[in-house]
């Protein structure tokens, strides 16, 4: 798909539009913020679904039987925890200027909490607190959106703005274009898709099926990213004044992939929760053993 | 003017509030979906006259297409969003008495989010945004199918999730292909450039998208999950899955095929697939001894009928198809609600265990009978004008092929009549062993059932109440040039 050479040029005005030099961030939290709201909702749904599926699974047994963590882990945690938090916050806050953003920063911050969980098995995150945080942060997102809607009615932004137009389809220069180089990503992506499909069709063990789904998802995401890639393309970040969009990769697929990854993770989490329930109910992970529903 | 964004933002905000309300009072949490659906119903009905004249286009964040996401509130979108809100309202009332055990706060939150997802799918004008809302709809239904947590529920949910996730992956590949070809995700923008690219990759993208969405729309042969999921879910959820979720899936397929791809050469193929789905669904329903599975297979049949009507693609037949969507939502949701309490009282889903219900639960049985008559297509219920319109439109063209096909549709209706009358006979004319005391469903549940009964009779007697909306919906679907023009200006 070499037709997508200069798709980034459509976003020349991104800095003025959204105030971010990182165009991917502009797309994620500006142009397509509604998708991001949907993505947050999907995560919320998955968390609730997980709770609902595991709720009747018969109690949360304490983690009393778990061995305490080693000295190295618990001591290292004291030093690492604040550093990881700081690093995550930096990626988060600086996301509109440099590579990174809410998604990546959030993942780093979450890993800090996972480390705490590993190093002191006795510790538990308050369920009440986390569910209240979940709800309120979602509400803040919706509230800001509605606020924007109200303000937007006062000041219509789509008026009086002339776009650079959609310059597309500048043919590739053809500087020694090799077939393999252009298509290797697509081949890789569809290889993964094929492996995932094969696993889903052949395997009957639930965990293996879920692994298949995960590989399939990875393949799809890789395909999405490849759609926006151009050879020797750089990240779509206007980091220096005067840096034009030429030679930058298309930011939209990158934003889509961020959303798609989160949705994929949500499905996987729910699938694994169901697998736990399935195992507890049937005593096996073999789908063929489940014969409750036949006609 | 009220923006259609509110139809999504307000229920979503309220859905996020449910866990907070649930902290204060578990009982109060159940009322949040009622409020949100009522809000959506009022707003949708208030917007309907406006969108009949001109569709409302909302560029979210003020970014024009193809940069931002566009909401498109036309007659079809508003009709379906009103239908979702209506069914959502009635079923959430029913759930106040029906859902007593388990993590009820999570149930109400997920239920709300399911409705938000469905509304988002029917209002969005952006393919990727459609995917996101579709996933909200699907993931919340996977979780709700497993809500009871019995063996059947877990098995059904696992099957549903795996098939659904596979469908989503195919859908996403199709969307990626579309973006690669057109460089935009806006439906109208894609539709406008449809002629400018190589048709082969476009066809591949369409096949992937139709198959991906077809899983949720229960198109044959992608519907293996449906009878399990719809029969194992709690009955209030079965009502929403059968009445709303699959129809929203079907809407998504239709929107892609009619508006985005605009492939009129494929319509006859869809009519055939619809007929096949119809016959297989009705035949399987006839063979069932489990009442909820019977209703689930009947839903497959009804979807087939709708696809058939849409596939003929004349103004009358598409109007008939949309009408059938309305009558299926009302009828099937009512049936699941009535069956929910019958099964609860008798303790079994076998049809034979419903003997003597006509005496034991007279009002619930009456509601069931009305729903069944309407689905079969007897006058004066809403199923009659919708089926009549489909048959009339198929015969209008004087084509021999369509006349043969409509014969098969009528055959399927006879089968449908046969299995519904069998149940009604069991309910009324077979005496159960022992004389159980009369014990009808609780008042709230009866009230919600009779809201549907009233609508079925009123729209059945006065179909003109909604034909304006249906007709302009049909022309919205058939005239894609208008759609493109109204979005891109």
Q: Compare CB distances from A132 to B20, B152, B165 and report the shortest one's residue.
A: B20
Q: Quick one: pLDDT at residue A275?
A: 92
Q: Compare CB distances from A45 to B110, B177, B293 and report the shortest one's residue.
A: B110
Reference B203, options B250, B167, B257; nearest CA is B257
Taking CA–CA distances from B144, the nearest residue in chain A reads: A49
Q: Compare CB distances from B173 to A49, A168, A220 and report the shortest one's residue.
A: A220
pLDDT tens for each residue of B337-390? 999 999 888 888 888 888 888 888 889 999 999 999 999 998 889 999 999 999
CA B16 to chain A, closest CA, distance in angstroms equals 5
Encode B134-149: b = buried (16+ Cβ within 10 Å), e = exposed: bbbbbbbbbbbbbbbb
Q: DSSP code of A205? A: B
Give the Å distances, CA to CA, from A6 to A162, A169, A236, B121, B454.
19, 8, 11, 31, 58
Is B422 a domain residue?
A: yes
Q: Compare CB distances from A42 to B139, B180, B231 and report the shortest one's residue.
A: B139
Q: Quick one: pLDDT at residue A158?
A: 43
Residue A194 near residue A222 (C-beta atoms within 8 A): no
Dihedral sign (CA B438, B439, B444, B450):
negative
Q: pLDDT band at B129, cuts 50/70/90?
A: very high
CB spacing of A295 vs B284 below 8 angstroms? yes
User: CA B455, CA B223: separation in Å to the nearest integer?
Assistant: 29
Q: Residue B4 half-sphere exposure, CB side, CA atoms within 13 Å?
A: 31
User: CA B78, CA B202: separation in Å to the nearest integer?
Assistant: 29
CA B283 to chain A, closest CA, distance in angstroms equals 13
Reference B84, options B251, B210, B234; nearest CA is B251
Q: DSSP code of B126? A: B
Q: Residue B366 half-sphere exposure, CB side, CA atoms within 13 Å?
A: 12
Question: How remote is the C-alpha of A106 from its chain's centroid?
Answer: 10
Q: Compare CB distances from A52 to B16, B18, B110 and report the shortest one's residue.
A: B110
CB spacing of A31 vs B67 below 8 angstroms? yes
Domain residues for the domain of B244 are 6-488
Residue among B1, B3, B14, B16 with most chain A CBs within 10 A, to mutate: B16
Q: Which residue has the tokens 């519904």?
A: B420
Q: Looking at the complex, does the CB of residue A254 fall below 8 Å from at least one CB of chain B?
A: no
| A121's tokens | 């098995």
Q: Quick one: pLDDT at residue B206?
A: 92
Percent helix, percent strand, percent coil in chain B, to nearest 5:
80, 5, 15
| Phi, psi angles (nearest 5°) of residue B124 | -75, 155
**Burial (CB count within 10 angstroms: exposed 0-12, middle 13-18, buried 19+), residue B465:** exposed
Q: pLDDT band at B221, cuts 50/70/90?
A: confident
Domain count, chain B: 1
Is B1 a domain residue?
A: no
pLDDT tens for each residue of B312-339? 888 899 999 999 999 999 999 999 999 9
Q: Compare CB distances from A46 to B20, B132, B139 and report the shortest one's residue.
A: B139
User: CA B428, CA B436: separation in Å to the nearest integer?
Assistant: 14
CB spacing of B12 vs A209 below 8 angstroms? no
- Identify all chain B residues contacting A145, using CB atoms and an 8 Å cutoff: 9
| B307's tokens | 């696809």
| A169's tokens | 């389809």
Taking CA–CA distances from B114, the nearest residue in chain A reads: A45
User: CA B90, CA B337: separation in Å to the nearest integer?
Assistant: 10
Residue B480 has pLDDT above 80, yes or no: yes
Encode A135-161: b = buried (16+ Cβ within 10 Å), e = exposed: beebbebbeebbeebeebeeeeeeeee
Dihedral sign (CA A214, A216, A220, A222):
positive
Other C-beta atoms lying within 10 Å of the C-beta of residue A132: 14
Residue B319 near residue B473 (C-beta atoms within 8 A): yes
Tell me how many residue pairs between chain A and chain B have CB atoms under 8 A apart.
234
Q: Compare CB distances from A34 to B69, B168, B290 and report the shortest one's residue.
A: B69
Q: Quick one: pLDDT at residue A170?
A: 39
CA A85 to chain B, closest CA, distance in angstroms equals 27
| pLDDT per residue rounded down to tens, chain A (295 residues) | 444 445 777 777 777 777 777 888 888 877 888 888 888 889 889 988 888 888 755 545 555 566 777 888 888 888 899 999 999 999 888 877 888 777 888 889 999 988 888 887 777 777 777 778 888 888 888 888 778 767 765 554 444 333 333 333 333 444 445 666 678 888 889 999 999 999 998 988 999 999 999 999 999 999 998 888 877 777 788 777 767 777 788 888 888 999 999 999 999 999 999 999 889 888 888 888 777 666 4
Taking CA–CA distances from B196, the nearest residue in chain A reads: A169
Is B168 a domain residue?
A: yes
Average of per-residue pLDDT across B416-428: 91
CB spacing of A166 vs B142 below 8 angstroms? no
Is B179 a domain residue?
A: yes
Q: Quick one: pLDDT at residue A175?
A: 45
| B253's tokens | 């397929």
CA geometry: angle B447, B451, B454, nearest 5 deg: 130
Q: Quick one: pLDDT at residue A227?
A: 86
Reference B479, options B318, B291, B346, B279; nearest CA is B318
CA A125 to chain B, closest CA, distance in angstroms equals 17
Q: In this prediction, does ipTM exceed 0.95?
A: no
User: CA A141, CA B486: separation in Å to the nearest integer?
Assistant: 30
Cis preceding-peptide flag for B66 (omega within 30 of 0):
yes
| Phi, psi angles (nearest 5°) of residue B103 | -75, 80
% of residues, chain B, pLDDT over 70: 99
Reference B123, options B256, B4, B262; nearest CA is B4
| Phi, psi angles (nearest 5°) of residue A47 | -60, -45
Question: How remote is the C-alpha of A168 from its chain's centroid?
Answer: 28
CA A46 to chain B, closest CA, distance in angstroms equals 7
- Identify all chain B residues contacting A138, using CB atoms and an 8 Å cutoff: 12, 16
Taking CA–CA distances from A218, the nearest residue in chain B reads: B169
Q: Looking at the complex, does the CB of residue A89 fall below 8 Å from at least one CB of chain B?
A: no
- Identify all chain B residues contacting A204, using CB atoms and an 8 Å cutoff: none
Q: pLDDT band at B196, cuts 50/70/90?
A: confident
Q: Which of residues 92-151 of A touch B (CB under 8 A)?
A: 128, 131-132, 134-136, 138-139, 142-143, 145-146, 148-149
Give the Å distances, CA to CA, from B484 to A94, A164, B51, B181, B191.
39, 21, 16, 18, 7
| A56's tokens | 């009747």
Q: Quick one: pLDDT at residue A98?
A: 80
Q: Quick one: pLDDT at residue A168?
A: 38
CB spacing of A274 vs B157 below 8 angstroms? yes
Residue B465 near residue B455 (C-beta atoms within 8 A): no
Residue B178 near residue B185 (C-beta atoms within 8 A): yes
Taking CA–CA distances from B12, the nearest residue in chain A reads: A142
Q: Which residue has the tokens 């979906």?
A: B33
Residue among B120, B152, B155, B186 with most chain A CBs within 10 A, to mutate: B155
Percent helix, percent strand, percent coil in chain A, to nearest 5:
65, 0, 30
Q: Quick one: pLDDT at residue A14?
A: 75
CA A103 to chain B, closest CA, distance in angstroms equals 17
Dihedral sign (CA A55, A61, A62, A66):
negative
Residue B152 has pLDDT above 70, yes or no: yes
User: CA B310, CA A202: separation in Å to the nearest integer?
Assistant: 36
- Identify all chain B residues contacting A130, using CB atoms and an 8 Å cutoff: none
Q: Compute the mean pLDDT over every residue in chain B, rounded to the nearest whole number.
A: 89
Q: Quick one: pLDDT at residue A156?
A: 47
CB spacing of A45 vs B156 below 8 angstroms? no
Residue B23 has pLDDT above 50, yes or no: yes
- Identify all chain B residues contacting A295, using CB atoms and an 8 Å cutoff: 227, 284, 287-288, 290, 293
Q: Which residue has the tokens 């990759």?
A: B201
């Amino acid at each position: 798909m070499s037709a997508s050479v200069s798709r980034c040029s459509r976003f020349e005005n991104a800095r003025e539009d959204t105030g971010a030099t990182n165009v991917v961030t502009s797309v994620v939290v500006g142009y397509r913020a509604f998708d991001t709201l949907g993505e947050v909702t999907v995560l919320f749904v998955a968390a609730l679904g997980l709770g609902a599926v595991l709720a009747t699974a018969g109690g949360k047994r304490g983690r009393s039987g778990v061995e305490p963590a080693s000295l190295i882990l618990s001591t290292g945690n004291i030093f690492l925890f604040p550093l990881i938090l700081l690093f995550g916050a930096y990626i988060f806050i600086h996301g509109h200027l440099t590579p990174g953003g809410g998604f990546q920063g959030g993942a780093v911050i979450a890993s800090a909490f996972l480390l705490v969980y590993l190093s002191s098995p006795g510790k538990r995150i308050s369920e009440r607190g986390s569910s209240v945080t979940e709800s309120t942060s979602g509400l803040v997102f919706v509230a800001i959106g509605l606020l924007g809607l109200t303000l937007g009615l006062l000041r219509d932004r789509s008026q009086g703005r002339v776009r650079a137009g959609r310059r597309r389809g500048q043919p590739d220069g053809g500087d020694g274009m090799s077939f393999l180089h252009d298509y290797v990503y697509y081949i890789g992506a569809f290889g993964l898709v094929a492996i995932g499909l094969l696993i889903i069709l052949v395997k009957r063990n639930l965990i293996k099926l879920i692994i298949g789904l995960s590989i399939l998802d990875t393949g799809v995401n890789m395909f999405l990213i490849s759609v926006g890639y151009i050879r020797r393309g750089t990240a779509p970040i206007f980091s220096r004044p005067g840096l034009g969009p030429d030679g930058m990769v298309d930011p939209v697929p990158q934003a889509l992939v961020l959303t798609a990854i989160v949705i994929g993770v949500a499905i996987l989490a729910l699938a694994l929760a169901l697998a736990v329930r399935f195992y507890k109910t049937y005593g096996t992970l073999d789908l063929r053993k489940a014969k409750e529903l036949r006609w | 003017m009220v923006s259609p964004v509110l139809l999504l933002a307000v229920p979503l905000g309220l859905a996020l509030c449910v866990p907070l309300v649930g902290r204060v009072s578990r009982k109060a949490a159940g009322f949040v979906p009622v409020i949100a659906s009522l809000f959506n119903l009022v707003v949708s009905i208030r917007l309907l006259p406006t969108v009949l004249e001109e569709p409302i286009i909302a560029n979210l964040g003020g970014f024009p297409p193809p940069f931002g996401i566009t909401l498109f509130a036309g007659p079809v979108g508003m009709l379906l969003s009103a239908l979702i809100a209506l069914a959502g309202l009635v079923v959430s009332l029913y759930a106040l008495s029906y859902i007593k055990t388990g993590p009820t706060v999570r149930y109400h939150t997920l239920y709300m989010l399911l409705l938000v997802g469905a509304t988002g799918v029917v209002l969005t004008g952006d393919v990727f945004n459609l995917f996101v809302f579709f996933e909200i709809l699907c993931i919340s239904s996977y979780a709700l199918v497993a809500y009871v947590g019995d063996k059947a529920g877990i098995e059904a949910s696992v099957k549903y999730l795996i098939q659904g996730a596979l469908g989503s992956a195919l859908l996403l590949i199709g969307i990626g292909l579309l973006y690669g070809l057109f460089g935009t995700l806006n439906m109208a923008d894609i539709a406008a450039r449809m002629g400018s690219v190589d048709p082969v990759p476009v066809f591949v993208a369409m096949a992937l998208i139709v198959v991906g969405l077809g899983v949720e729309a229960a198109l044959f042969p992608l519907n293996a999950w449906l009878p399990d999921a719809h029969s194992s879910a709690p009955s209030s959820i079965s009502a929403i899955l059968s009445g709303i979720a699959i129809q929203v899936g079907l809407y998504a397929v239709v929107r892609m095929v009619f508006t985005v791809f605009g492939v009129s050469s494929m319509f006859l193929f869809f009519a055939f697939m619809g007929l096949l789905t119809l016959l297989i669904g009705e035949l399987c329903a006839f063979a069932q001894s489990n009442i909820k599975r019977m209703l689930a297979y009947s839903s497959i049949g009804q979807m087939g009928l709708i696809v058939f009507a849409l596939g003929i693609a004349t103004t009358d037949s598409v109007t008939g198809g949309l009408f059938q969507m309305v009558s299926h939502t009302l009828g099937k949701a009512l049936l699941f609600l009535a069956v929910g309490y019958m099964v609860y009282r008798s303790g079994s889903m076998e049809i034979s265990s419903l003997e003597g219900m006509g005496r034991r639960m007279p009002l619930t049985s009456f509601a069931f009978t009305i729903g069944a008559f309407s689905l079969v297509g007897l006058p004066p219920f809403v199923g009659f004008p919708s089926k009549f319109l489909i048959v009339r439109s198929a015969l209008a063209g004087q084509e021999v092929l369509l006349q043969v096909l409509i014969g098969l549709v009528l055959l399927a209706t006879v089968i449908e009549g046969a299995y519904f009358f069998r149940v009604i006979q069991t309910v009324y004319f077979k005496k159960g062993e022992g004389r159980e005391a009369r014990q009808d469903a609780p008042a709230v549940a009866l009230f919600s059932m009779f809201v549907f009964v009233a609508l079925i009779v009123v729209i059945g007697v006065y179909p003109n109440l909604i034909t304006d909306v249906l007709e302009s919906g049909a022309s919205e679907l058939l005239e894609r040039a208008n759609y493109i023009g109204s979005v891109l200006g």
